[in-house]
Amino acid sequence: MQAVTLPTIGTDTAWRNAARALLAARTPPEDVLWHFGEAAPQLFDAAPIAPTDAPPIKVPASFVALADTVVWHSDPERFARLYALLWRLPHTPGLMTDRGDPGLARLRALEKNVQRCKHKMKAFVRFRDIGPPDLPRRRFAAWFEPTHHTVEPTAPFFAGRFADMDWMIATPDVTARFENGALSFAAGLPRPDLPEDATEELWGTYFCNIFNPARVKISAMTSEMPRKYWKNLPEAKHIHGLLAGAEARVREMQDKGPSLPPARAAKILQQLHAPALAQTLDELRARAEAENRTPLPNRGRIVLGEGPADARLMIVGEQPGDVEDQQGRPLVGPAGQLFDRVAQEAGLDRATAYVTNAVKRFGFTQRGKRRIHQAPERSDIEHARWWIDSEIRIVQPALILAMGATAAKMLTGNGTGILARRSRIEDTPAGPVFLTVHPSYLLRLPDPAQAQDATARFREDLAAVRALMAA
Amino acid sequence: MSKLSLDSKLAILSDAARYDASCASSGTTRRDSKDGKGLGSTEGSGICHAYAPDGRCISLLKILMTNFCIYDCAYCVNRVSSNTPRARFSVEEVVSLTIEFYRRNYIEGLFLSSGIIRSPDATMEDMVRIARTLREKHQFRGYIHLKTIPDAAPELIEQAGLYADRLSMNVELPTDASVQAYAPEKNPATIRRAMGEFRTRKEASTDRSHTGKRPPRFAPAGQSTQMIVGADLSTDATILGTATRLYGDYRLKRVYYSAFSPIPDAAAALPLIRPPLQREHRLYQADWLLRFYGFDLAEITGARADGNLDLEIDPKLAWALANRQHFPLDVNRAPREMLLRVPGFGTKTVGRILATRTHRTLRHDDLARMGAAMKKARAFITLTDWTPGALTDSANLRARFAPPPEQLSLF
């Protein structure tokens, strides 16, 4: 009877050496007693295996891989079973590929256990930060209790992954250390007292919130994360609470039902669904021509603005009138002529500005042969928004002169109290907007003295704009 | 608004990310940091570091960069019309969370998704910046999965592919009509175009130049997508048909099926029902049969008139029961294609059968040791020491596998 004792560290090499010597000495499997660890019971003579210089044995590569894995299993019979298979190998062709063979099937099952244990160790080791934060290499430590002796075969994985930090994995039978790029193994430790790590709280928060209470599947969790690992997993302490509260959370969700959307939703969606603005004046003109082919009742054609596309000043009136509609140009009717005269007096050159209207179509009611001007309706203003937004986007003026309530409403969102707000700049999403009255207001004042005063104030406004543009 | 702590941001933004089924960290190139200059490694297969009580694995730190969103998709908890609390991570916060979690071995890497803020391009740019910071500044060699925004500029998606292992775009719902109805701001054609561009770029990244130089790797773990099951009225046949097309047209690595589950503050358009988990499970089984077992779409979905899969028994068993003329099968002689169709035989079992039967004939107990589920397989095979007799054609064969009938509640 031959007794062999294998060490807890370096078991794989020790088993291979022993097996090689035993096979060279032609020792049959039934005459070998295998022991693991230090204190081997010595019932029979433990004759040391004589080192032989027998020729190396040839085995299939798949056997070596199998043996190197199975030696780490906790089953006390593993070494004997491996040796028994090795003993049969030379006489049984095709043995390594025969999964129906009971001896191999059993070893493959052990191999699977070890592979799974290694995999779970890669997954479930949890490091804690133990070093002072100012060290060049950070330091971490973990306590782990594997089912099989998998620390040694799994440690290279951690060395390849966490190479820029020092770490230690302590287990009851072996401790792996990685310091300054060197991996070493020592005997096991009692469970060390690792300092608290604040990141564990964040991890717990993540674990709780990634859980979907509507789909509880406890068996799927426990089959992949068996309870035996829970005591060393910081997140496992939350599981009970999550499960206990899951049903109530789902019921609450269902009872609550749909709520009213927040105020910002409608605005965002409206912006999102708004048609894309035109990119060039040519595109805008083509679009206007296309729309003008179908006349609308009580509405004139689309009259676009005119002036340089890179103007620094944009002048916005109300809407085209009868004359503008006929000529297809903005601000050329009676009010336009008044504007031109006052602007000239104020020193403001209309030709350098981009002149346009807030609303693009002349709105009127037909009275006999005359078309009577109608104030734009809300729908006209909504329709016109795309046009004026496109024009602003293309011209990108430094200042916009808004004349009258409609232009003020369109550009600042508020068309009330123009007389109180005039002669001032208001900031808007489209840029600074200078407010003043519409020149047609001057034409409508019945009292000549009043009209003269108002025209003077209008002139002052235009002069102020000129000064702003010159500055 | 008061400033949110990192903890509350993490709570909001992981809560918002939980409806994405994908958490795979597999299929990428092997990397490690043995040179001591970086952090992290990847193997061929992924590692699931934890499991939540919903049975889903936690492999990656799955978070949204922000859950502010300008879109209004009915099934989504982050849609603009929802009253869910909102938050936004800074680039540094995402990077430091990823690195710190990774160092403690909590995760394999980062799965970053985002609501759409300002514009698709602006959102995608921020996501790419996070991936770039991880890879270049911190030499992070773990896994990165970016959810790409279909409307983003192609250059941004190109950059994303250089830093990430996997990119994904969700088709969300199986038909264009459903997308139109439930996610009006999303455009299925744009999503498909982006997937097509991805495929072209990925294939181009394997071509060497005339000097033999390899172009940089582009998303080595490929692309995946997700379809929500049970939110609209699509049948399983429609869903699997869409999936088959996606696999074929765009070489997707995975199509994920996600049972629609009630969300907080749900839209009125959708029912708050218990998520159809069993249906989801059957769809995955059918997906595997299509990809690895040589089944045809019509064979799987043709068993029932309504185009849905049988919820009580798995699709392979359902096929075998409906096509008993092929059985029983002689395991010692049958070709591989037929062995793969035996209920209870997986691809590994079939490989083992083929390897062993070249040396000797197989017996009943051999198959059990090879990992076959004999309880299912027994009725469909013959061996030297086993014959099913009349079992194969017996009328009550289905009843042996289906769960026992349940009496309906009287109340």
Tens of pLDDT along A355-371?
A: 999 999 998 888 888 88
> Residue A322 above 70 pLDDT?
yes
Region of residue A404 (phi > 0: left; psi between -120 and 50: alpha; otherwise: beta): left
Q: Nearest 5 degrees, angle CA B408-CA B409-CA B410? A: 115
Mean pLDDT to the nearest integer, A235-256: 90
- Residue A235 distance to chain B (closest CA, Å): 8
| ipTM reported for the complex, 2 dp | 0.92
Q: Is the pLDDT of residue A22 over 60?
A: yes
Tell me what the mean pLDDT of segment A89-114 comes to. Answer: 91
Instruction: Convert chain A into a string of H (helix), E (strand) and C (coil).
Output: CEEEEECCCCHHHHHHHHHHHHHHCCCCHHHEEEEECCCCCCCCCCCCCCCCCCCCCCCCHHHHHHHHHHCCCCCCCHHHHHHHHHHHHHHCCCHHHCCCCHHHHHHHHHHHHHHHHHHHHHHHCCCEECCCCCCCCEEEEEECCCCCCCHHHHHHHHHHHCCCEEEEEECCCEEEEEECCEEEEEECCCCCCCCCCCHHHHHHHHHHHHCCCCCCCHHHHHHHCCHHHHHHCHHHHHHHHHHHHHHHHHHHHHHHCCCCCCHHHHHHHHHHHCCCCCCCHHHHHHHHHHHHCCCCCCEEEECCCECCCCCCEEEEECCCCHHHHHHCCCCCCHHHHHHHHHHHHHCCCHHHCEEEECCCEEEEEEECCEEEECCCCHHHHHHHHHHHHHHHHHHCCCEEEEECHHHHHHHHCCCCCHHHHCCCEEEECCEEEEEECCHHHHHHCCCHHHHHHHHHHHHHHHHHHHHHHHC
Which of A95, A143, A203 would best serve as a mutation to test chain B binding (most B beta carbons within 10 A)? A203
User: Which residues on chain A are in Cβ contact (under 8 Å) with B72?
Assistant: 265, 269
Task: Report the residue of chain A nearest B105, measured CA to CA.
Answer: A126
State the 10-residue block means of pLDDT for chain B, 411 residues long. Answer: 83 91 86 90 90 93 93 88 91 95 96 89 92 95 92 89 92 90 88 89 84 85 91 90 92 90 78 81 95 92 86 93 93 95 95 91 92 94 92 90 81 68
Q: How far is CA A139 from the centre of its chain?
A: 30
Which positions 20-39 of B are in contact with A (Cβ < 8 Å)?
A: 32-39
**What is the structure's pLDDT at B25?**
87
CB contact under 8 A, B33 and A161: yes
pLDDT recorded at residue A53: 63
Task: Tell me where in chain A the CATH 3.40.470.10 domain(s) lie.
Answer: 281-470
Question: Is residue A169 scored above 90 in pLDDT?
Answer: yes
Average of per-residue pLDDT across A441-454:
89
- Measured CA to CA, the distance from residue B167 to residue B145 in angstroms comes to 6
CA–CA gap between residue B11 and residue B97 (Å, rounded) = 13
Q: Does B11 touch chain A (CB under 8 A)?
A: yes
- Shortest alpha-carbon distance between residue B289 and chain A (Å): 22
pLDDT of residue A50: 57
Contact A127 B103 (CB under 8 A): yes
Of the listed ranges A109-118, A315-324, B80-89, B400-409, the least confidently predicted one is B400-409
pLDDT at A69 > cutoff 80: yes
Q: Which two tokens stand for residue A164?
A: 């820029």
Per-residue pLDDT averaged across A443-451, rounded? 89
Minimal Cβ distance to B106: which of A159, A203, A260: A203
Say which of A102, A199, A216 has its CB closest to residue B369: A102
Average pLDDT, integer, range A27-54:
70
The distance of B1 to chain A (nearest Cα, Å) reads 15
Whether the Cβ atoms of residue B328 and residue B382 lie closer than 8 Å to each other: yes
Q: Per-residue pLDDT for A39 more than 60? A: no
Shortest distance, CA B40 to any CA of chain A (angstroms)? 4
Interface of A with B in 193-222 (CB under 8 A): 197, 199-203, 205-221
pLDDT at A40 over 60: no
Of A99, A140, A256, the CB nearest to B352: A99
Q: Which domains occur in chain B, in start order?
A: 6-207+215-227 (3.20.20), 315-401 (no CATH)
- Nearest-CA residue of chain A relative to B96? A199
- Among A94, A224, A265, beta carbon nearest to B81: A265
Assign domain A281-470 one CATH number from 2.30.30.790, 2.40.50.100, 3.40.50.1370, 3.40.470.10.
3.40.470.10
Max mean pLDDT among A158-172, A253-267, B193-207 falls in A158-172
Q: What percent of chain A has pLDDT over 70?
A: 96
B409 or A231: which leads in pLDDT: A231
Q: Which chain B positions have a beta carbon within 8 Å of A124's beta carbon?
A: 49-50
In the prediction, which pLDDT does A41 show?
57
Instruction: Give mean pLDDT, residues A197-201.
Output: 92
To test the contact with chain A by mutation, choose from B18, B43, B105, B137 the residue with the greatest count of A C-beta atoms within 10 A, namely B105
**Residues A269-286, mean pLDDT to the nearest whole number:** 82
Is the CB of residue B16 less than 8 Å from the CB of residue B84? Answer: yes
Please identify which residue in the block is written with the tokens 């070494």: A79
